[in-house]
Structure 1
Amino acid sequence: MADMSAPAGGLLTTSDGRPLKSALATAQKRAKRRAFLLVLPLLAFIVITFIVPIGQLMHQAIYNDGFSANMPRMTAWFAETPPGTEPDDAAWEALALDLKDAAAARSVGVVGTRVNYEMSGTRSLFTSTARGAARFEPPYRDALLAADEKWADPNLWGTMRQVSDAYSANFFLAAIDMTRDVNGKIVPMPEERQIYVSLFVKTFLLAGLITFTCFLLGFPIAHLLATLPMKWSNLLMILVLLPFWTSLLVRTTSWMVLLQQQGVVNNTMVALGIISEDGRIQMIYNQMGTIIAMTHILLPFMILPLYSVMRPIPPSYVRAARSLGATSWTAFRRVYLPQTLPGVGAGSLLVFILAVGYYITPALVGGASGQLISNLIAFHMQSSLNWSLASALAALLLGAVLVLYWIYDRLVGIDNLKLG
C-alpha cells in the first residue's frame, strides 16, 4: 500500500507527493481503460454481427434506387415539377431516352420491378417498350403511345413520381396495408390486397397461444424437477434437454409423420376406437400442426427458467402456510406462485419472442393457414426479391418485440427476470 502523509495543510498525499484524490482518479481511469479493452473484442463482434445488420435492414426498408439510379432524366423532371403536372414534351423525351439507356445497360428490368412494387403489372410494360426503344424518334409521345397506350395512364405517371425518390416510406405503408394515391395521399390498400396486418395479428395470437400452452405444460414439469431427489431430477432433466441434441429439422419432420391423416396419432386413435376410419383428424398443414410442433420445440425454453427459480424455494414455506390453516390451493397461490413469477416472466418472454420469429416449423407443418409473418418475410427475400418490403416487415416485427420488452419492463421490471 502506498505510504500516505498529511502535510500541515491537511491534504492527503501519496508517498511520491501527489494528492491522494488525483492518484485515485488516475487509478480508476486506468482500471476503466483496462476493462474496456477486455470487452472490446466482444463489443466489436456485437456491432459487426448485430448492430450493423440491423442498421442495414432499417436503411433497406426506406431506400430503393431502382428507378432513380437508372432513369436520371425522369428523376430530374419529377424533381423540377410539382406533383400533378401533366407530362410535357420534355417529360416524354426524358422517358424515351432513359428507356433507351436502360435497355442498353440491361437495367430496365430493375426499373420495371421498382415501379411494379407500387403498381402491379407495370414491369412487362417497361420491358416490352424498352425492346423497341432504340427506334424511337421525335415526337416521343407518339412513339411511346404507339408502343403501348398504357403510357398515357396518369396513375402510372403518379407512381413513377413516387418511386423517383430513392428514399421513401412507401414500403412501411405497404407493410401496414396502406398506399399512396396519385396525389400522394395515404389511403388503405384495396381490400383483396390487405394481408399484412391480419398476418401480424395472427402471428402474435398464435405466439401467445403457444406461450400459454408451454406454460401449462412446463409449470408442472418444472415443479416436479425441482421437488424430486437430485438423482431423479437429473435424469428427467436429461429428457428435457434431449430435444436440444436433435436437429430442429428432424424434430419438425417427425411431427409431420406423427400428425398426418395416415400417421401414428390417427392410426392409434382408430385402433383404440376413439375415431372412425372416416373420421381421421387433419392435424397437419394447418394452424393445429403449427401449434403442436412449436409447443414441443419451445417447451424446454419455458421449463428451464421455471426450474431455475423453483429449485431454491424451500418446501418449508408451503408447509408453514398449511400448518397455519391455509388450504393447499391458498398456500400455492399466496406463497409458492409469487416466488416463481420471475421464472414465469422470463420463460414466457423467451418463448413468445422465439415463437414470433419462427420460420422453419410453420413453413413445413403450417400449410397456408399456419404460416406466420416470418414466412412472408422469407418469401419476399427469396422469391419476390422485394427486399425493401421484407426489411420493412422485419423492422415492424422487431419494433413490436421491443415494445413487448418495454411493457414487460414497466409491468414486472427487467431486474426481476430470471433465466438461470
Structure 2
Amino acid sequence: MQALLLALPLLVFLLSTFIAPIALLLARSVENREVSDSMPALTRALDAWDGHGVPDEHTFALLATGLREAQQNGQLGTVARRLNFAQAGFRSLLIRTERQLPADTPPAWKPALVELDERWNSPETWRQLKRAAASPTPDFLLAAVDAQVTPQGSVAFVPDNASVYRQAFARTISISATVTLLCLVLGYPVAWLLANLPAKSSNRLMLLVIVPFWTSLLVRTTAWYVLLQPGGVINSLLMGLGLVTHPLPLVFNRTGVLIGMTHVLLPYMILAIYSVMKSVSPVYVRAAQSLGAHPFTAFVRVYIPQTLPGVGAGCFLVFVLALGYYITPALLGGAGDEMISQLIAIQTNTQLNWGLAGALSAYLVIFTAIFYFLFNRIVGIDRLRFG
C-alpha cells in the first residue's frame, strides 16, 4: 500500500496526460456525433428509414428545420465538413440549400428542396446522410484501409493504383524494417567494441553514443538537411575529390529518410545490445577456442547466441520508434515517402478529420501490439534455447 501511494501521483499523471488522450483519439475512430448532435430529430427519422428510394415528406421537413437550427447554433459548418468526408460536394450542397431555404414554410418541403438542388431527389444522397448520422460507425476504420461500403451494403476496396493508406502502411513498415536492419548492422560492431575495450576507453567512446540524446531531434534532422542537399557538405566533398561529377540525390527521397532515421535511432540499438554484451563472460569464447573452435566459429556459435536478447530488444525498440516517426521523414523525404504519422498529422491539422486520424492511429496501435506479441514469443523461445 505504501508503494502504491508513492507511485500514485505518477500513475495519475500518466493517466491524464498520456493514456487518456490516446484512448480519446482511438475512440474517435468509431464515434460519429456531428450530425446526431446537431440534428437529433432528423437522425431519428433517418434511423427509421429503410434506405429505399427517398424518404417521405416528414423527413424532408426535418432536414429543412435541422439545417436552420444548425446554422443558428453555429454547427452547420461542422456537419457539412463531416458529410464532405463521406462524399465530395456535400458541404456545398448543405450550405447552399440552407441559404436558399424559403422564408415562409412551403406547402410541401420535398418538392421545394428538390427544386433547390436535384441531388435531394437521389437515394444515394440520403443513404450517405443516413450513414453519416449513425454512431458508432465503421466508416473511418474502412476509409483508413481504402475501403468503403457500397450501395448494396458490401465492403469494397479501392483499386491498388488509387490506394493511399494501404500503401502508406506498407511504406511505413518497409522503412521501419530497413532502418532497423541498418541500425543492427552498424550498431552491433560498435556495441561489441564498447563492451570489450578497457573501461576507461569504453567510457570515453560511450559519450559519443550518448551525446546525440542531448541534442534536439529537429536540430539533428535539420543538420542532415544541410549536409545532404545538392550544394551541401557531402556533395561538395565528393565533387571536390572527383568521385562524382554531379550532385547525388541524397535528400527529399528515401535515401535521406533512411540516413536521418538511422542516425537518430542508432544509439537505441547500441545501448540495448551493449547492456547484454557487458554481462556475457569472455570465458565461453575462450573455452570454445581451447577446444579447437576457430575464432570466427566461436564468435558465431557461442558469443552471438548469448547476445540475441539484446539484439531482439534493440530491434523491437528501433522498429516501434520508427513506426511513429514524423519530423525526419517530413523534412528529408519526398512525396513518395510519406509515413502513417504524416498522414495522421495531415488529418488532424489540415483536414480536421479526427475520426480518420483516430482510425489510422488505431491500426498503428494494433499492428504494434501484434508485433510486440510476436516479438515476445520469439524472444521467449530464444531465452529457453540460449539462456
TM-score with structure 1 setting the length? 0.87
Distance 1:80 1:314 in 2: 73
2:347 partner amino acid: H
RMSD: 1.8
Q: Pick from 203, 211, 217 the counterpart of residue 234 of structure 1.
A: 203
| Further displaced range: 153-162 or 208-217 | 153-162
Alpha carbons of structure 1 residues 192 and 71: separation in structure 2 relative to 1, 3 Å: farther
| Further displaced range: 166-175 or 52-61 | 52-61
Aligned-residue offset at 1:323 = 2.0
Alpha carbons of structure 1 residues 71 and 415: separation in structure 2 relative to 1, 3 Å: farther
Aligned-residue offset at 1:399 = 0.8
Q: Pick from 95, 109, 126 the counterpart of residue 77 of structure 2.
A: 109
Which residue of structure 2 lines up, in the alignment, with residue 326 of structure 1? 293
Which residue of structure 2 lines up, in the alignment, with residue 201 of structure 1? 170
Distance 1:204 1:214 in 2: 15
Distance 1:52 1:146 in 2: 48
**For 1:160-171, what aligned pairs fall within 5 Å after superposition?**
160-171=129-140
Residue 179 of structure 1 contacts residue 188 of structure 1 at CA under 8 Å; is this kept in 2?
yes
Q: Pick from 236, 239, 247 the counterpart of residue 267 of structure 1.
A: 236
Residue 54 of structure 2 contacts residue 122 of structure 2 at CA under 8 Å; is this kept in 1?
no
Q: Pick from 346, 354, 379 the counterpart of residue 387 of structure 1.
A: 354
Which residue of structure 2 lines up, in the alignment, with residue 46 of structure 1? 14
1:306-330 CA distances to partner (integer Å, 9 max, x unpaired)?
1111122222322221221111221
Does residue 45 of structure 2 align to residue 73 of structure 1?
no
1:160 partner amino acid: L
Which residue of structure 2 lines up, in the alignment, with residue 244 of structure 1? 213
2:357 partner amino acid: A
Distance 2:49 2:296 in 1: 74
Aligned-residue offset at 1:414 = 9.7
1:333 partner amino acid: V
Structure 2: gaps (5+ residues)? none
Aligned-residue offset at 1:106 = 2.6
| Further displaced range: 100-109 or 355-364 | 100-109
Residue 309 of structure 2 contacts residue 382 of structure 2 at CA under 8 Å; is this kept in 1?
no
Which residue of structure 2 lines up, in the alignment, with residue 352 of structure 1? 319
Which residue of structure 2 lines up, in the alignment, with residue 216 of structure 1? 185
Identity percentage over the alignment? 45
1:50 partner amino acid: F
The alignment partner of 2:255 has SS state of helix
Does residue 3 of structure 2 align to residue 35 of structure 1?
yes
Residue 252 of structure 1 contacts residue 364 of structure 1 at CA under 8 Å; is this kept in 2?
yes
Distance 2:360 2:74 in 1: 30
Residue 25 of structure 2 contacts residue 354 of structure 2 at CA under 8 Å; is this kept in 1?
no
1:299 partner amino acid: L
Aligned-residue offset at 1:416 = 5.5
Aligned-residue offset at 1:142 = 2.3
1:254 partner amino acid: A
2:129 partner amino acid: M
Which residue of structure 1 lines up, in the alignment, with residue 93 of structure 2? 125
| Further displaced range: 189-198 or 370-379 | 189-198
Residue 347 of structure 2 contacts residue 357 of structure 2 at CA under 8 Å; is this kept in 1?
yes
Residue 290 of structure 1 contacts residue 365 of structure 1 at CA under 8 Å; is this kept in 2?
yes
Residue 28 of structure 2 contacts residue 358 of structure 2 at CA under 8 Å; is this kept in 1?
yes
Aligned-residue offset at 1:193 = 4.4
The alignment partner of 1:281 has SS state of coil
1:84-141 CA distances to partner (integer Å, 9 max, x unpaired)?
2532211211111211222222321111111111112211111121112253623212
1:220-252 CA distances to partner (integer Å, 9 max, x unpaired)?
001111111111111110011111111111100
**For 1:79-94, what aligned pairs fall within 5 Å after superposition?**
79-94=47-62
Aligned-residue offset at 1:191 = 5.2
| Further displaced range: 146-155 or 341-350 | 146-155
**For 1:362-373, what aligned pairs fall within 5 Å after superposition?**
362-373=329-340
Residue 171 of structure 2 contacts residue 337 of structure 2 at CA under 8 Å; is this kept in 1?
no
Distance 2:107 2:243 in 1: 79
Which residue of structure 1 lines up, in the alignment, with residue 256 of structure 2? 289
Q: Pick from 135, 153, 156 the counterpart of residue 184 of structure 1.
A: 153
The alignment partner of 1:179 has SS state of strand
Which residue of structure 1 lines up, in the alignment, with residue 247 of structure 2? 280
The alignment partner of 1:61 has SS state of coil
Residue 84 of structure 1 contacts residue 183 of structure 1 at CA under 8 Å; is this kept in 2?
no
2:296 partner amino acid: W
Aligned-residue offset at 1:48 = 2.2
Residue 100 of structure 1 contacts residue 130 of structure 1 at CA under 8 Å; is this kept in 2?
yes
Residue 320 of structure 2 contacts residue 368 of structure 2 at CA under 8 Å; is this kept in 1?
yes
Which residue of structure 2 lines up, in the alignment, with residue 335 of structure 1? 302
Residue 62 of structure 1 contacts residue 171 of structure 1 at CA under 8 Å; is this kept in 2?
yes
The alignment partner of 1:82 has SS state of coil
Larger gyration radius, structure 1 or structure 2: 1
Residue 214 of structure 1 contacts residue 298 of structure 1 at CA under 8 Å; is this kept in 2?
yes
The alignment partner of 1:412 has SS state of helix
Residue 253 of structure 2 contacts residue 332 of structure 2 at CA under 8 Å; is this kept in 1?
yes
Which residue of structure 2 lines up, in the alignment, with residue 18 of structure 1? none
Q: Pick from 407, 410, 413 the counterpart of residue 374 of structure 2.
A: 407
The alignment partner of 2:35 has SS state of coil
Aligned-residue offset at 1:39 = 2.7
Distance 1:99 1:416 in 2: 64
Residue 159 of structure 1 contacts residue 182 of structure 1 at CA under 8 Å; is this kept in 2?
no
Distance 1:110 1:271 in 2: 57
The alignment partner of 2:218 has SS state of helix
2:321 partner amino acid: L
Which residue of structure 2 lines up, in the alignment, with residue 148 of structure 1? 117
Aligned-residue offset at 1:286 = 1.1
Distance 1:212 1:65 in 2: 44
